[in-house]
A = this chain, B = another copy of it.
């Protein structure tokens, strides 16, 4: 619900040769709101007509897109299948899962696992109580790092130089009145997070939603991640979050250590 208007002006130089262009077009279609006509994509992608047409044909042949009878393009099923395999084969998630569960047992609230990718957090797993909501609703979702608990926690692990590089590239969109609006305030909070070992989301991404998060570092790997406990403001006070912060830090540390062992030595067991 807190989605930007996003006109997606394709930004700067498109990616790696041919594949880069194909992926840019694919993304333009997938990230759009509904089925896309040829002309829509033409405008959005900036590619010349002939080129675009060929790219789309290839994407359809590969099953990454589907062309409907009315000529609209939609995401194809192959994406789902690829993602299914890469998710169910993800060992890091596998290691983390029991810890997410026990954190959920303890708190009764929703627990997330997220991985930092550049300037965004990608949610990789989730344990929640009431399954009235769509089940895997968030898996694969990417949110800005600067306004999420996990995001800020993960950022706090980066070397200062790297951090500053990333922050420089952020566009601070004000999702709520509490969202960080500048690099300075974000960097200041990250300094605190480094000291405390945990981060809060004080209704910064979505109003009425709070969380407490802790960063995960896996020695020997360069992935940066985090976990969080999230709840609605009416049920979860800041005091409550502070009370949980120790458990969250402990769980995060445990995941980090276990992952370092199970992910390190080659491609290990089952």
- Please give the residue numbers on chain A whose beta carbons come within 8 Å of chain B beta carbons, in ascending order: 15-20, 22-23, 26-27, 30-31, 33-35, 57-59, 61-64, 68-70, 72, 74-91, 97, 115, 117, 122, 124, 126, 131, 134-142, 220-222, 266-268
Contacts and interface: CB of A to CB of B under 8 A. Distances in A.
A268 B61 CA distance: 26
A80 B141 CA distance: 8
A87 B80 contact: yes
Contact of A83 (B20, B79, B220): B79
Contacts of A20: 58, 61-62
A30 B87 CA distance: 10
B142 A81 contact: yes
A3 B86 CA distance: 16
Contact of A30 (B57, B77, B82, B115): B82
A251 to B, nearest CB: 19
Contact of A79 (B63, B76, B79): B79
Contact of A86 (B57, B80, B222): B80
